[in-house]
Amino acid sequence: MNNVYERWKGADFMNPMLFIILLMLILISLSIGTIHLGVLDVARIMFTTFPFGATSDHKSMSWVIVELVRLPRILLATLCGMSLSLSGAVMQGVFRNPLVGPEIIGVSSGAALGGVIAIILFWPWFGVVGLAFAFGLVALLLVFIVGGVSNRARTLNLVLAGVIVSGFCGALVGLAETLANPATILPNIVYWLLGSFMDANYAKVAVVGGVTAFAGTALLILRWRINLLSLGDEDARSLGVNAQALRWVVLALVAVLVAAQVSVSGGVGWVGLIIPHLARRIVGPEHTKLLPAAALLGGIYLLAMDDIARGIAAFEIPIGLITSVIGTPIFAFIFWRTQSPGWSTQ
């Protein structure tokens, strides 16, 4: 059995297979809800009227449910899952540490703080996106300053600095919640921080899709250089790569992805930590295959979690709670597994 697994691991058909699974899950997810629709009915609506090509005769209740209510939410969950997982896979490769992710190095907490401030100030939605993005970059800069990251710095310093920055941003978020109006603003902040795709619309899909297309494509173009970074700075420099500059570029792209996700759906944790490990088990550690697999698996995973969030009970459970409940024990197992050889502790 192990020999069969090793032959299939990293096979060229794995990523196309994951893409097919994602498309199938999207169709299934479109049929899930208070009003149940058959998968064949969903497929007929999608393939005969999308995008928005239905005439007034075709705009039935089923069409409205599929294309105006469920589809933007499903697309948003898929794009956010892809962004988070891709970001986590990139970070783990760049820092040669399986315990590094957007949550660990403070980008998510910084973006959340920016979003909360924008909500308190009654900024419009694009203001929330902009401030979340800016604070995500500031948090990343603080992590580098506190951790004193240099060519010879231990990645443990980065993780500890991320914990410090995350704790500081979390304290400021708590202060902002204390100062917020408890009757109007506070409930919105609390629910937003827990994570949800309930307010999904095509405007949010367009923003996250545009950011994902830009930053995600750039990371995929750089994936062979990320392979060199995963060898270590000295080896990367010997092969003609400016490791420090490339690391900054890569982390800036990751910050853009994470900030965009936080701005539209709030806190959705652990996806960028656990999904890259599953992708690595399927296609191997080589980033030219790992990054596309991680993105596809992230979309599949977060979409499945959103299906659970809106279908497990009569009321909707914040998706951030579900991903945390599932992600924390998996992360604990990953931490235990990292005691075995295979990752640099530089």
For 154-174, write each residue's pLDDT tens digit: 566 777 888 899 999 999 999
What is the predicted pLDDT for the residue at 25?
A: 95
Q: What would the pLDDT profile of 178-228 be if each residue is shown by its tens digit?
A: 988 888 888 888 888 888 898 888 988 998 999 999 999 999 999 888 888
Nearest of 345, 179, 319 to residue 262 by alpha carbon: 319
Domains and CATH numbers, the chain: 2-337 (1.10.3470.10)
Mean of the per-residue pLDDT values of the chain: 82
What is the predicted pLDDT for the residue at 85?
A: 95
What is the predicted pLDDT for the residue at 291?
A: 94
pTM exceeds 0.75: yes
Which of 47-56, 238-247, 323-332 is predicted least confidently?
Answer: 47-56
Which is more confidently placed, 257 or 232? 257
What is the predicted pLDDT for the residue at 59?
A: 61
Q: What would the pLDDT profile of 272-299 be if each residue is shown by its tens digit?
A: 989 998 899 899 888 889 999 999 999 9
Mean per-residue pLDDT for 77-96? 91
